[in-house]
Amino acid sequence: MLNVVVEIGCDFTELLRQHQAMVFSIALHFLRDRATAEEVAQEVFFSLHRNLHQIETPLHAAAWLRKVAVQRAIDEGRRRSRKPQLALEDVAEPAAAAVKPSDPLLSELLRKLIATLPEAPRMVMVLRYQEDLDPSEIAAALEMPVATVKSHLQRSLVLLRGKLARRGIGESGWTG
Amino acid sequence: MDWLEDELRRALARQDAPVGFAERVLARGRREPHGARRWLAAAAMVVVAAGAAGAWRQHQGYEAKREMMLALRLAAAPMHRIQLEVKDITQ
């Protein structure tokens, strides 16, 4: 089994094991396609393999992988943007009365709603709620101003609340 | 904690990579050369090419010198004959 060890101890196999879920999930939640997400994730790790000599610490490796995963996912999203995307109206929705907190149907609806967001706010939401990054960390990963990140977060949350409310889904009783 | 943000964290929680993902990445890594080795190979090719270019220029120089010497000898031959004839005449 390949086991490249760099002088500072960043073992490629170990980095792959530790971060494969993060990289795959960033691609999956952004692209909403498992096969494509795996292709993107493989490319990210292959890029790491080629650039392992640049990695200074395990912490640096995690940040590096996250940033490259974001870039590759966005690039792939742009390549696929010519294909007709699922309109929000076509998204299958759970019956409002059937939705409860922590409902898998609600999770699936939220993922689909996020997939309809434009590229930048969509990735901001993924990094915020998948990776639990704060706005300054998201700004660094996406190379955008912190104020822009905060604006994307705020507007996306307002948008999602509105869409859910129109479907009778919300905090008050969960039946609208 | 805001209910929507709770639900978003739940909806966007990390998912495991597909089964066999790591093995596929490692297998692909074995098929292609390591980044550092590729750089070394490229650098070695540059050195070889530079050395070959220098050797070719040196060869061209030797050839040019050889041709010039031949031309001088050819040019000098008639002059040598003339000198001999003049010597005969004057003796």
pLDDT tens per residue, range B54-64: 767 777 777 77
CA distance A97 to chain B (A): 17
Confidence tier at B38 by pLDDT (50, 70, 90): low
Cα separation of A103 and B11, whole Å?
Answer: 9
The interface residues of chain B toward chain A in range 34-73, judged by CB-CB distance below 8 A, are 34-36
- Cβ proximity of B17 and A38 under 8 Å: yes
Eight-state DSSP code of residue A11: B
Residue B48 pLDDT grade (very low, low, confident, very high; cuts 50, 70, 90): low
Structure tokens, A94: 């759970």
State percent of chain A over pLDDT 70.
Answer: 80
As a whole number of angstroms, the distance between CA A12 and CA A70 comes to 20
Please, which residues 6-25 of chain A have a Cβ atom closer than 8 Å to chain B?
A: 12-13, 16-17, 20-25
Q: What is the largest CA-CA distance in chain A?
A: 59
Which residues in chain A are contacts of B34 at CB distance < 8 A? 4, 49-50
Angle between helices A146-166 and A119-129 (to 10 degrees): 90
Instruction: Quote the minimal CA–CA distance from A92 to chain B in Å.
Output: 16
At B38, list the tokens: 């590729």
Query: Contact, A137 vs A74, CB < 8 A?
Result: no
Does A20 sit within 8 Å of B22, measured CB to CB?
yes
Please tell me the distance from the alpha carbon of residue A33 to that of residue A29, in angstroms, as a whole number.
8
Q: Residue B46 pLDDT more than 90?
A: no
Count CB neighbours of A16 within 10 A.
22
Q: Are A121 and A49 in contact (CB under 8 A)?
A: no
Residues in chain B: 91
Spatial distance between the Cα atoms of A109 and A102, rounded to a whole number of angstroms: 12
- Residue B57's Cβ-side half-sphere holds a number of Cα atoms within 13 Å equal to 6
For an interface test with A, the pick among B3, B5, B8 (most A C-beta atoms closer than 10 Å) comes out as B8
Q: How far apart are CA A167 and CA A88, in angstroms?
A: 12
Average pLDDT over residues A5-23: 80
- Read off the pLDDT of each residue in A135-159 and give the average, rounded to a whole number: 96
Given this model, what pLDDT does residue B64 score? 78
Cα–Cα distance, A98 to A167 (Å, whole number): 12
Q: Is A160 in CB contact (< 8 Å) with chain B? A: yes
Query: Distance (Å) from the C-alpha of residue A23 to the closest C-alpha of chain B?
Result: 8
Question: Does residue B27 surpass a pLDDT of 80?
Answer: yes
Which pLDDT value is given to residue A3? 45
For residue B29, which residues of chain A lie inside 8 Å, CB to CB? 2, 12, 46, 49
Rounded Cα gap, residues A128 and A66, in angstroms: 13
* Cβ partners under 8 Å of residue A157, min gap 6: B4, B5
Q: Are A155 and A121 in contact (CB under 8 A)?
A: yes
Quote the pTM value.
0.70
In whole angstroms, what is the distance from residue A167 CA to residue A105 CA?
A: 13
Q: Which of B9, B14, B32 sits opposite A25 (nearest CB)?
A: B14
